[in-house]
Amino acid sequence: MTQQSHQTQQLTEQPTQQSTPQPFGVRLAAAMDAHGPLCVGIDPSPALLAAWGLSDDASGLERFSRAVVEAVAGSCAAIKPQAAFFERHGSRGVAVLEQVVADARAAGVLCVVDAKRGDIGSTMAAYADAFAGDGSPLAGDAVTASPFLGFGSLDPLLDVAARTGRGVFVLALTSNPEGAAVQHARGQDGEAVAAAVARAAAQRNAAAQAAGEPLGSVGLVVGATTGDAASRLAVDLAAVHGPLLAPGIGAQGAGPADLARVFGPARSAVLASSSREILSAGPSVRALQEAAVRSAVACRNALRHHP
């Protein structure tokens, strides 16, 4: 084997001493049962860093992130660091993101790295190594991905994640109003783009469903702000059998009460996500924890009822 092909193999295989963990969907279902259906976003924006009295640099990011992990570990199902707020600080910021991933693992809280990657298949293989490969410092328990280069372009990521017990949340109906122009568009057969994404995710989860797992590991991102879009566009969320990450609670205007309306019969799979609303309770760790638990309880209660 040449030195180059040996290095390539090392990058793609990432052998590990650890035994393969349970699939992400199984671990997430257990965490939601224990702590409620809430994922707390870690979005250290310049505004929030300033509000917490922290500097807009890597040391500010580190103190911010450590406080959130400490506040939610043992109280919430998951955290979701937003990669962009770390990347804007260059390599030092990325190093802090790596620390967040490690701290979450040590604290036993699931970590969804919100990186929204998506590219042609060969490049996607590199993203797969980075965000789902065993031994990669950026690989949390799950990552967000964009299917808008074609759902099949995500295959390298979905394959690596399946092999390493990680999850992937694929954008389907995003929380921002601009998303509709792409996601509500219909193909020649009349199927909406978001419905096709959901159908492809369901296929990926078929084996997990057949095996009796409570949730598959391929989830969707469906904003809590999307109203009746899923039902209007015939997006079969219940058939996905994967977790449904629902951003938009709080600062974007949706509240827990919207969840049951948006998700209807799929509501048991919802992992609500909220960043700014909870983070604005900081920097006190105790106040952050209280805000997160309040939100988790409100989401759980709202999802119990179907309108």
Ligand X SMILES: O=c1ccn([C@@H]2O[C@H](COP(=O)(O)O)[C@@H](O)[C@H]2O)c(=O)[nH]1
184 scored as a contact of ligand X (CB under 6 A): no
* Choices 25-33, 200-208, 210-218, 271-279; region in contact with ligand X by CB under 6 A: 271-279
Six-digit token string for 91: 């390599």
| Residue 93 interacting with ligand X (CB under 6 A) | no
Least CB distance from residue 156 to ligand X, whole Å? 22
C-beta closer to ligand X: residue 114 or 258: 114
Which residue in the set 93, 223, 242, 256 belongs to the binding site for ligand X (CB under 6 A)?
A: 223
Is residue 276 close enough to count as binding ligand X by CB under 6 A? yes
Q: 273 φ, ψ to 5°?
A: -130, 135
Minimum separation from the CB atom of position 84 to ligand X (A) = 7
Coil/strand/helix, residue 55: coil
**Using rule CB under 6 A, residue 140 touches ligand X:** no
Instruction: Based on the shown chain and the rule CB under 6 A, indicate whether residue 273 belongs to the binding site for ligand X.
Output: yes
- Integer CA distances (angstroms), 180 to 5, 250, 295, 306, in order: 44, 20, 27, 25
Which of helix, strand or coil describes residue 45?
coil
Interaction of residue 82 with ligand X, rule CB under 6 A: yes
CB of 171 to ligand X, least distance (A): 6
Q: Does the protein bind ligand X through residue 133 (CB under 6 A)?
A: no
Alpha helices in the chain (DSSP H): 3-13, 24-35, 46-51, 58-72, 83-87, 90-107, 121-132, 155-164, 180-183, 193-210, 229-232, 256-263, 276-279, 285-304
Least distance from ligand X to the Cβ atom of residue 230, Å:
13
Instruction: Catalog residues that contact ligand X under the rule CB under 6 A.
Output: 41, 43, 82, 114, 174-175, 221, 223, 247-248, 250-252, 273-276
